[in-house]
Chains A and B, each alone.
Chain A
Amino acid sequence: MTDLFSGYFTLCFGILLLGLYSVIAQRNLIKIIIGIEIMGKAVILNFITGGFYQNNTGIAQAIVVTAILIDAVIVAVILALIVNVFRLKRGILADRMAQLKG
């Protein structure tokens, strides 16, 4: 069985933190979405790792395909919201959203 901090796990966790950093640090809403997508990819990579270690790629495939689908739906909904943000405020910077309250 794998060690908790094996290379693959560290890699996936690193990608997750990278995505989280992008969500927290970026001002542009599109870049925030890219951050969320990066986090989603870290999760998918970790499921693939799990399937590889457990010799159970069938379930891992099923999970990964569904996870990709859900990711796509979430991004579509958030993009639709961002289109509305742009229509109302002519800009998609997250910090301006807080200032332009009202």
Chain B
Amino acid sequence: MIIGNGVWVILPEFLLLFGALTTYTFGKVGRPKGSWYTGGIATLFAIATLGVLISAIPAVQGGESLVVTLNPSGIALALTPLALFLGCTGTALLIISCCYSIRYLEGGEGTEKYYALLLLMAAGVLGIGLAQDLFNMYVFFELMSIASFPLVAYHTGTWEPIKAATKYAIMSAVGSVTALFGISVLFVYAGTLELNGIGPALNLVAPATMPGLVLISGGLMIAGFGVKAALVPLHTWLPDAHSAAPSGVSAMLSGIIIEAGFIALIKALIPLFGQTTHVSFGLVLALLAVLTMCTGNLIALQQRDLKRMLACSSIAQVGYIMLGFAFGMGLYGQGTELGFTGGLYHILGHAFMKGGAFLCAGALIYSIRTKNIDEMRGIGRVLPFVGISYTLCILALNGMPPMTGFISEIFIARAGIDLGGVGLLFVSVMLANIVLSIGYYVPSINTIMFSEEQGVKVTGVRPVPRLMQAMILVATALIIILGIFPQVGLAIVSPAAAYLYHQFFPV
């Protein structure tokens, strides 16, 4: 039953799902096909969803959640501060991506499927935040994954997207089945999958089996959800999939989908956390984070394809986010709330930094029809707006003040320093990685903006449409606003961080 406040929980999810249906129907029956209005309808639904979510901010500001129980057995959706954060970030990026794709895909076939799938993907992201039991979270996780496979393979006539999507789909399917096995192990021992109910139910389990149970279940869930979050041994699908997808989809995939996968992993670890002293999830995640950021930066150094380079840098950025969460969970014992703040702020910033960078890359590829950085020499002088925006996004990714990447990296580093001990070591590795990442960020800016000689194709470029430029402007403006006025971002990040901290360390 939906009464009063419950409508704020159901309405955003409903708007996205209903929007997918409406977009598809209108795109199918409307004439002419593949026209701008499919994108327009999708954008309108996304704006409405963001509006509802923003108007719900005051209700959850104090840290309490709005809960809707769907049936007597206790399956519930709750608009927690974390769900609100994930929903706001995802939907804002969805608006930018939908609006951008209107001109980017103009004249193409099958746009109604494209926008419907984009909305379904965003519905999955929001649902991961809303779900209050592990199985429902898995269902939304799968909704997000399944919608993203066809989007990567959107240009079905060419080999690269099909190959990337097949690889992505197979790895992701194996990963989600593995994660579900971890969830099922929890179900065998706890008999319930509610996030708040598992912990008390596990108290009945014999203490001798506890370390093994936590190790098996947690290990399977880290490995399973880790495929989506691009933890390092499982990241191999990411450079292919993110570079082969249409640029609007790449922005969504890098900006929010891998982070949503990571949030799913964190939510799945909440009931297992603190059950045994033999396993420190914070330390495990911190080690994986170091591996992830080093590998991501090192493989990004060798890329000559602009979108592949950005995709590899996403792996490194997920490493920074993971390190923040690991500090939040504590390496040994008590963690620090600042770590969650840093990780979540980096998710928020990264959505627009990497989203913006991918949109700029898309605009450059749209006008010059090549992905190779070397052939883009000097294009920034021909397309100054896109060039300057690209420079700003890349500098923000590199953690240059006054952009948003700087703020979140300061938070994460401060959290590590507060923890002390091994935390300092991890912080120094992160700083070394930030320095290392200059090695590919700055040369790409140099080639695109400041190259004296121009590439062969640079002279006859297509102009970039106004709507695409406007969306790039929105993303760039958000980066700078979130960097100069952190309190804007902290308005949704701080409650979410406090919520997560209290989930891990109940008072």
Contact = CB atoms under 8 A, between A and B. Distances in A.
B139 A4 contact: no
A33 B204 CA distance: 38
B174 A67 contact: no
Contacts of A56: 191-192
B163 A85 contact: yes
A60 to B, nearest CB: 8
Given A47-B187, A50-B188, A89 B159 contact: yes
A58 B180 contact: no
B169 A54 contact: no
B209 interface: yes
B188 A53 contact: yes
A29 interface: yes
A54 B159 contact: no
A39 B171 CA distance: 13
Contacts of B205: 1
B36 interface: no
A70 B153 contact: no
A36 B213 contact: no
A57 B209 CA distance: 24
A40 B162 CA distance: 24
Given A66-B135, A81-B153, A46 B184 contact: yes
Interface in A62-102: 63, 66-67, 70, 73-74, 77-78, 80-82, 84-85, 88-89, 97, 100-102
A1 B206 contact: yes
Nearest to A70: B142
B166 A81 contact: yes
B390 to A, nearest CB: 27
A82 to B, nearest CB: 7
Nearest to B191: A54
- Interface core residue of B142, B173, B176, B188 (most chain A CB under 10 Å): B188
State the main secondary structure of chain A at its contact with B.
helix
B179 to A, nearest CB: 9
Contacts of A1: 189, 204-206, 209
A92 B185 CA distance: 34
B191 A4 contact: no
A36 B173 contact: yes
B142 A74 contact: yes
Contact of B139 (A43, A51, A70, A81): A70
Contacts of B178: 16, 20, 39
Nearest to A24: B174
A46 B139 contact: no
Interface string B129-146: 000000100010010001
- Interface core residue of A3, A56, A58, A84 (most chain B CB under 10 Å): A84
Contacts of B401: none
Interface string B144-187: 00100110010010011011011101100110111011001101
Contact of A23 (B166, B174, B191): B174
- Interface core residue of A20, A63, A67, A85 (most chain B CB under 10 Å): A63
A82 B73 contact: no
B216 interface: yes
A5 B132 CA distance: 29
For this complex, into which size category does the number of interface residues on chain A fall?
35 or more
Contacts of A25: none
Interface in A35-55: 36, 39-40, 42-43, 46-47, 49-51, 53-54
B245 to A, nearest CB: 14
- Interface core residue of B73, B165, B174, B213 (most chain A CB under 10 Å): B174
A88 B173 contact: no
A69 to B, nearest CB: 9
B51 interface: no
Contacts of B206: 1
Contact of B166 (A50, A58, A85): A85
Contacts of A50: 184, 187-189, 191
A39 B177 contact: yes
Contacts of B149: 77-78, 81
Contacts of A49: 188
A59 interface: yes
A96 B160 CA distance: 14
A84 B188 contact: no
A3 B166 contact: no
Interface in B385-399: none
Contacts of B163: 85, 97, 101
A11 to B, nearest CB: 12
B191 A43 contact: no
A36 B174 contact: yes
Contacts of A59: 73, 192-193
Contacts of A84: 153, 156, 162
B110 to A, nearest CB: 13
7 contacts: A9-B185, A53-B188, A54-B191, A59-B192, A73-B142, A88-B162, A100-B159
Interface of B: 73, 135, 139, 142, 146, 149-150, 153, 156, 159-160, 162-163, 165-167, 169-170, 173-174, 176-178, 180-181, 184-185, 187-189, 191-193, 204-206, 209, 212-213, 216
Interface of A: 1-4, 9, 12-13, 16, 19-20, 23, 29, 32-33, 36, 39-40, 42-43, 46-47, 49-51, 53-54, 56, 58-60, 63, 66-67, 70, 73-74, 77-78, 80-82, 84-85, 88-89, 97, 100-102
Given A12-B181, A67-B180, 11 more contacts: A4-B212, A13-B181, A47-B184, A50-B184, A50-B188, A60-B187, A70-B139, A70-B142, A77-B150, A78-B149, A85-B163
